[in-house]
C-alpha cells in the first residue's frame, strides 16, 4: 500500500495557529503530535520534506529538522529510507496505541457516547437462546433479519414516516451505513454538502469517496446558515448533502420545520440526495416547542430524495454494532450489492439482541433523557463556575455542548490536558483545514462525577496554557 502524502500547503492548513508562545520546534512538534494522536494526520501519512515545510511555514530548516527529531525519538515519526518521514503512534505494551502521555487514571472524553444500557445483557442472553432457530438459515446476512427490519420499519411508521421492511437495510452501525452510502452515491469529484462543524468520521468517508466538500456553517445558538445552505445547493449542484437536522453533532442545534422544508425543496430542485443522520436525533432532553416528539425527516411533498440513517449506538450502546439505512428499494438493492468488498454481513447474534431490545427502546431512551439532563445541567454549572469567559450554549438534547473558548487555543488546551490525565477532541477535529480552534466539544454523556473530575483537569490545563490571562475575542458563536 502506498502511504498517503501530505503536502506542505495541506499540512499548513491542518496546523492552523500552531505557535503557542514556546520555542518554535517544541510548539510545532506539539501540534503535529496532537494531529497524529487525534487522527487528523492518520498513521502512515508521509509528512512533507523538511526543506519544503520550512519554506511553507517561514521557519528555518533546522527548526523543522529538530521538530521531526523530537517526534522521531518520541515514537511519532518513522523515517523510511528514500521516502521521508511517516506518522506513527507509539505502541502501548498491550498493543493499543498510547495516544499521548496519559496517566493510568486518564479520563477519555473523546467519545460522546453513553455507557451500556442495563437492558443489553439480558437481551443478549435471550438472543443466544434463539440462535439455534436461526443458525440453519442465516449466516452471512447482508440485508438484515426479517423481524429486525420489520421492527425498525414499524418504528419509523409509528414515528410518522410510513415504512416497509424492504426499505430498511441493517448495517454494522451508522458509520458503516454512511461509508456504504458514500461509496455507492458519491463518485470522485462530486460535491457533497456537509455541515461545519460536522461529525468527523462521516466527513472522512466522503473525502475517501473522492468528494469535494461544500461546508455550510452551523452554530450552537444560531443553527444553520440558511442562506449559505440554499446557495450551496444552487451554486454547486451537489450530489449529496449529509445533514444532522436533530441535535446536530457537535453543536446540539436542531433545524426548525420551516428550515427543513426549505432545505428539502432546495435539494429537490438540484436533484441532490439528502442523507439525514439521525443517530443522535432521539436524545431529546427538553426541546422547546409544541411537540418535542421525534419525527424522522421525510420528503413529504417537496419531491426530495431522502435517505435516513439510524443506529442504536447512541441510545442503547455503541458496543452493539447495529445501525440501519432507510431508503427506497432500488437503493437498498444497490447498497447490498456494494457491500461484499467491505463486509459480508451484519452479525446475527447482535441483530437478534437488537430485535429483543426494540420493544424496550422508548423506555431506554426515557432513562437516557434523565441521565443526559443531569449531566448537561452539571456541565453548564461547572463550566460557568470555572470558565466565566467561555461561551457555553444551552443545548436541549444531543451528546455535547460546543463551547466557545474566546481564543484560538483548542489544540493547545487539549494537548496540555492530556498531560493532566484528560483526553478531549480539539475543535478542529470537527472541521477541516484547522478551523474551529476557538471551540471545544464537551460531552454530556458521562456520569456527573467523571465530568466534575474532568472539568478540574481542564481548568488546570486552561491555566497552564495561559487561557485565563489572554484577551477574550469577540462572540465565539460568530467565529469559525
Ligand X SMILES: Cc1ncc(COP(=O)(O)O)c(C=O)c1O
Residue ranges that bind ligand X, judged by CB under 6 A:
173-175, 199, 244, 249, 277, 279-280, 311, 313, 318, 323
Minimum CB distance to ligand X smaller for 109 or for 465:
109
Nearest-CA neighbor of 101 among 19, 33, 28, 43? 33
The C-alpha cell of 403 is what? 463551547
Angle at 150 between CA 147 and CA 155, to 5 degrees: 130
d(CA 117, CA 314) in angstroms, rounded, equals: 10
b/e per residue 27-59 (b: at least 16 CB within 10 A): bbbbbbbbbbbbbbbeeebbbbebebbbebbeb
Secondary structure (3-state) at 284: strand
Question: Shortest approach of ligand X to residue 314 CB, angstroms?
Answer: 6
The total number of residues shown for the chain amounts to 480
Question: Shortest approach of ligand X to residue 90 CB, angstroms?
Answer: 25
Q: Where are the beta strands (DSSP E) in 203-261?
A: 212-219, 223-224, 240-243
Minimum CB distance to ligand X smaller for 100 or for 173:
173
Minimum CB distance to ligand X smaller for 313 or for 427:
313
Minimum CB distance to ligand X smaller for 268 or for 364:
364
Q: Where are the beta strands (DSSP E) in 41-114?
A: 77-80, 84-87, 107-108
Question: Shortest approach of ligand X to residue 461 CB, angstroms?
Answer: 24
Angle at 27 between CA 29 and CA 37, to 5 degrees: 45
Question: Shortest approach of ligand X to residue 83 CB, angstroms?
Answer: 34
Question: Distances from the Cα of 351 to the Cαs of 14, 172, 193, 230, 346, in angstroms?
Answer: 40, 10, 32, 39, 7
Minimum CB distance to ligand X smaller for 249 or for 411:
249
Question: Shortest approach of ligand X to residue 418 CB, angstroms?
Answer: 21
Minimum CB distance to ligand X smaller for 33 or for 40:
40
Question: Shortest approach of ligand X to residue 49 CB, angstroms?
Answer: 36
Q: Are strands 305-311 and 323-326 parallel, antiparallel or unpaired?
A: antiparallel
The C-alpha cell of 476 is what? 465565539
CB atoms inside a 10 Å sphere around CB 222:
14
Minimum CB distance to ligand X smaller for 346 or for 414:
346
d(CA 474, CA 320) in angstroms, rounded, equals: 43
Which DSSP letter does residue 343 get?
A: -
Q: Are strands 223-224 and 212-219 parallel, antiparallel or unpaired?
A: antiparallel
Minimum CB distance to ligand X smaller for 175 or for 305:
175
Minimum CB distance to ligand X smaller for 32 or for 322:
322
d(CA 457, CA 423) in angstroms, rounded, equals: 10
Question: Shortest approach of ligand X to residue 23 CB, angstroms?
Answer: 37
Question: Shortest approach of ligand X to residue 318 CB, angstroms?
Answer: 5
Question: Shortest approach of ligand X to residue 310 CB, angstroms?
Answer: 8
Question: Shortest approach of ligand X to residue 360 CB, angstroms?
Answer: 18
d(CA 347, CA 468) in angstroms, rounded, equals: 50
d(CA 463, CA 228) in angstroms, rounded, equals: 37
Minimum CB distance to ligand X smaller for 48 or for 323:
323
Amino acid at each position: 500500500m502506498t502511504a498517503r502524502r501530505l503536502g506542505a500547503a495541506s499540512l499548513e492548513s491542518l496546523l492552523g495557529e500552531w505557535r503557542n508562545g514556546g520555542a518554535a520546534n517544541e510548539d510545532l512538534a506539539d501540534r503535529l503530535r496532537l494531529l497524529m494522536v487525534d487522527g487528523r494526520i492518520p498513521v502512515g501519512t508521509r509528512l512533507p520534506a523538511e526543506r519544503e515545510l520550512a519554506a511553507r511555514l517561514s521557519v528555518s530548516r533546522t527548526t523543522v529538522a529538530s521538530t521531526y527529531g523530537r517526534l522521531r525519538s518520541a515514537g511519532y515519526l518513522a523515517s523510511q529510507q528514500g521516502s521521508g518521514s511517516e506518522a506513527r503512534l507509539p505502541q502501548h505494551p498491550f498493543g493499543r496505541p498510547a495516544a499521548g502521555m496519559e496517566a493510568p487514571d486518564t479520563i477519555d472524553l473523546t467519545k460522546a457516547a453513553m455507557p451500556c444500557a442495563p437492558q443489553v445483557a439480558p437481551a443478549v442472553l435471550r438472543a443466544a437462546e434463539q440462535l439455534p432457530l436461526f443458525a440453519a438459515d442465516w449466516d452471512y446476512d447482508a440485508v438484515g433479519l426479517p423481524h429486525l427490519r420489520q421492527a425498525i420499519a414499524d418504528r419509523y411508521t409509528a414515528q410518522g414516516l410510513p415504512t416497509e421492511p424492504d426499505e430498511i437495510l441493517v448495517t454494522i452501525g451508522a458509520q458503516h451505513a454512511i461509508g456504504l452510502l458514500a461509496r455507492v452515491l458519491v463518485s470522485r469529484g462530486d460535491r457533497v454538502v456537509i455541515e461545519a462543524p460536522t461529525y468527523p468520521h462521516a466527513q472522512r468517508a466522503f473525502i475517501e469517496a473522492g468528494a469535494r466538500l461544500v461546508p455550510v456553517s452551523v452554530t450552537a445558538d444560531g443553527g444553520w446558515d440558511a442562506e449559505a445552505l440554499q446557495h450551496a445547493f444552487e451554486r454547486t449542484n451537489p450530489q449529496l448533502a449529509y445533514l444532522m437536522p436533530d441535535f446536530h453533532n457537535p453543536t446540539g442545534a436542531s433545524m426548525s420545520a420551516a428550515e427543513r422544508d426549505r432545505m428539502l425543496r432546495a435539494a429537490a430542485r438540484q436533484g441532490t440526495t439528502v442523507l439525514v443522520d439521525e443517530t443522535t436525533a432521539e436524545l431529546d432532553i427538553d426541546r422547546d416547542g409544541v411537540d418535542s416528539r421525534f419525527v424522522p425527516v421525510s420528503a413529504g411533498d417537496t419531491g426530495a430524495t431522502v435517505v435516513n440513517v439510524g443506529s442504536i449506538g447512541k441510545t442503547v450502546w455503541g458496543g452493539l454494532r447495529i445501525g440501519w439505512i432507510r431508503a427506497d428499494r432500488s437503493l437498498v438493492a444497490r447498497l447490498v450489492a456494494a457491500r461484499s468488498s467491505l463486509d459480508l454481513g451484519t452479525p446475527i447474534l447482535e441483530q437478534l439482541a437488537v430485535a429483543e431490545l426494540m420493544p424496550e427502546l422508548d423506555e431506554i431512551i426515557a432513562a437516557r433523557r434523565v441521565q443526559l439532563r443531569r449531566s448537561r445541567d452539571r456541565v453548564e454549572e461547572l463550566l460557568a463556575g470555572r470558565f466565566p469567559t467561555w461561551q457555553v450554549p444551552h443545548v436541549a438534547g444531543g451528546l455535547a455542548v460546543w463551547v466557545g473558548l474566546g481564543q484560538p487555543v483548542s489544540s493547545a488546551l487539549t494537548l496540555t490536558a492530556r498531560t493532566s490525565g484528560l483526553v478531549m477532541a480539539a475543535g478542529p477535529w470537527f472541521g477541516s483545514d484547522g478551523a474551529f480552534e476557538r471551540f471545544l466539544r464537551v460531552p454530556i454523556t458521562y456520569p456527573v462525577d467523571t465530568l466534575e473530575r474532568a472539568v478540574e483537569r481542564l481548568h488546570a490545563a486552561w491555566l497552564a496554557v495561559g487561557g485565563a490571562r489572554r484577551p477574550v475575542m469577540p462572540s465565539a458563536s460568530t467565529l469559525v
